């Protein structure tokens, strides 16, 4: 499974912020949209990632107040990124290694979307559920026979 498979299901709605934007405005957007991250863009380039983790860290550094802080002062200016072609196993490994909950998906310099750890986990569970259904269907349709290799032979069917 590739990142492109997740984005195809998830859709391509993106929320961004500018590094010179007041942090309070970015937090308001995150709250109103019920999202955990904003991609920080400047002149069409990815320059950072703002997640609730960076917001909380900035609040602690500033005595619990957003004040006049800018997005630039709170954002992660070296976010982990991937491409549409990145394999999901690699994305999981990267996210776990860096404790990243959100990852921008880039195509060269173009932002294609953002995937979250939730998106990755859901894709894994959905894939496992599909495999489980296929295996159960295969077992249910297993041809009955006299040899001991068939399901049900050991159960006396």
Question: Is residue 28 a part of any domain in this protein?
Answer: yes
Question: Is residue 22 a part of any domain in this protein?
Answer: yes
pLDDT value at residue 151: 53
Q: Of 103 and 139, which is predicted with more confidence?
A: 103
Q: What is the pLDDT of residues 119-149, one digit of tens each?
A: 988 888 887 888 888 888 888 877 776 555 5
Over 60: is that where the pLDDT of 21 sits? Answer: yes
The kind and range of the H/E element at 147 are none
CATH of the domain at 56: 3.10.580.10
pLDDT over 90 percentage in the chain:
65
Q: What is the pLDDT of residues 54-73, one digit of tens each?
A: 999 999 999 999 999 999 99
Question: Is residue 43 a part of any domain in this protein?
Answer: yes
**Inter-residue contact 101 to 116 (CB < 8 Å):** yes
Question: Is residue 156 a part of any domain in this protein?
Answer: no
Per-residue pLDDT, averaged over 79-95, amounts to 94
Can you tell me the distance from the alpha carbon of 100 to that of 43, in angstroms, rounded to the nearest whole number?
25
DSSP state, 113? E
pLDDT value at residue 107: 92
pLDDT value at residue 152: 53
Q: What's the mean pLDDT when you consider all of the chain?
A: 88
Structural domains in the chain (count): 1
Boundaries of domain holding 82: 3-122
Per-residue pLDDT, averaged over 47-53, amounts to 96
Question: Is residue 144 a part of any domain in this protein?
Answer: no
């Amino acid at each position: 499974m590739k990142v492109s498979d997740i984005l195809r299901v998830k859709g391509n709605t993106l929320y961004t912020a500018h590094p010179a934007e007041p942090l309070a405005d970015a937090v308001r957007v995150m709250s109103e949209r019920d999202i955990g991250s904003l991609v920080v863009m400047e002149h069409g380039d990815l320059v950072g990632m703002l997640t609730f983790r960076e917001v909380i860290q900035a609040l602690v550094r500033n005595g619990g107040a957003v004040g006049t802080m800018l997005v630039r002062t709170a954002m992660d200016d070296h976010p982990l990124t991937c491409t549409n072609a990145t394999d999901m196993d690699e994305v999981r490994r990267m996210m776990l290694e860096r404790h990243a909950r959100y990852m921008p998906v880039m195509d060269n310099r173009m932002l294609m979307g953002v995937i979250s750890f939730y998106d990755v986990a859901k894709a894994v569970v959905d894939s496992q559920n599909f495999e489980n259904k296929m295996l159960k269907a295969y077992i249910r349709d297993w041809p009955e026979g006299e040899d001991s290799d068939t399901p049900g032979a050991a159960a006396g069917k």
